[in-house]
Amino acid sequence: MKICYLGAGTWGTALANLLAKNGHQVKAWDRNSELVKLLNSTRKHPKLGDFQISKEIQYVETIEEAIKDADLIVESVTSAGIRPVFEAVKKIKGKDLPPIVITSKGIEQHTGLLFCDVLLEILGEENKNKIGCLSGPSHAEEVIKSLPTSVVCSAFDKKVLELIQTAFNSDSVRIYPNSDIRGVLFGSSMKNIIAIACAISDGFGFGDNTKAALMTRGLHEMSKLAVALGCKKETIFGLSGLGDLFVTCTSTLSRNYRFGKLIAQGYNMEDAKKSIGMAVEGTYSCVSAYELGKKLKIPMPLTEATYQILYEGLSPEEAVKALFNRAIKEEHL
């Protein structure tokens, strides 16, 4: 296929490289024109060490050039970039849209929309059956090295789901289909918030017991809010929920985890983001999840505590104290 890839960050680069290895013609665009020029000239991403990117990927400086004659659109832009990028796509393509694969992980702020619903709002219900996604426990640094990885794909339409599975499946990346597109997108968004909380805990030396509690109770919060949003609870216990939660909460390859460690070291949020040098999606989704919890009247103490640390100046020590002084209820899963 001819594939348009929107976004050339580490995740976008890893997946574009995978698609090129699978024999597809890939044209990749990024809003950072200097990065586009660098990738074309060196075939190395500044955040991926000495790895040589496939020469079969053509990097271009405009969305128009990337999207021309595309059989499939794949995106890996930031959460904040989803809406403006697809408004541009709609303006260029009109009704002549190919299938679209969402790989970004987040929930839009203030609207509380999952990214499939953001695209529906922009592109219209008539394009619903063209929207799909890919998600799961998958560090770019490992995917690009062809280390064994299992992820999940989803779509509103079965044919698009099968198309995604065929396009991305390889000897090193195994793609499981799942019909619950909102559940897949939700799980991959919420896990970043819990990862920040776990990293803050690790940074303060609270230990493995604390992290196990945070991950388990965080998973409980994820499943409660997911069900309230109409997602399947079972999806949250699959690759895009529990699987992605585990890999993000336990690895220094995760930018959300590294960000949380910096917060524990005394960095403010902006300085920690600058140190990471890439989008920290958990800081974005934390606002969205906090707002949704309040709107739907769902108690989410761990999400609320993380929000208060990041946006209201609550110290991690006080957050832990408040969490452990909450009334104890029977455990329900």
Q: Which residues are catalytic?
A: 191
Residue type, 279: A
Query: Which of 150, 199, 141, 144 has the alpha carbon at shortest distance from 175?
Result: 150
Q: How far apart are the first and last CA of the chain?
A: 43
Do the Cβ atoms of 304 and 224 come closer than 8 Å?
no
Q: What angle do CA 80, 85, 101 make, to 5 degrees?
A: 95
Q: Residue 73 in 3-state DSSP?
A: strand
5 strand-pairing partners: 28, 74
- CA dist., res. 243 & res. 144, Å (int): 19
Do the Cβ atoms of 79 and 279 come closer than 8 Å?
yes
- CA dist., res. 52 & res. 315, Å (int): 43
2 strand-pairing partners: 25
- CA dist., res. 100 & res. 130, Å (int): 6
Q: Is 34 exposed, middle or buried (0-12, 13-18, 19+ CB in 10 A)?
A: exposed
Do the Cβ atoms of 76 and 104 come closer than 8 Å?
yes
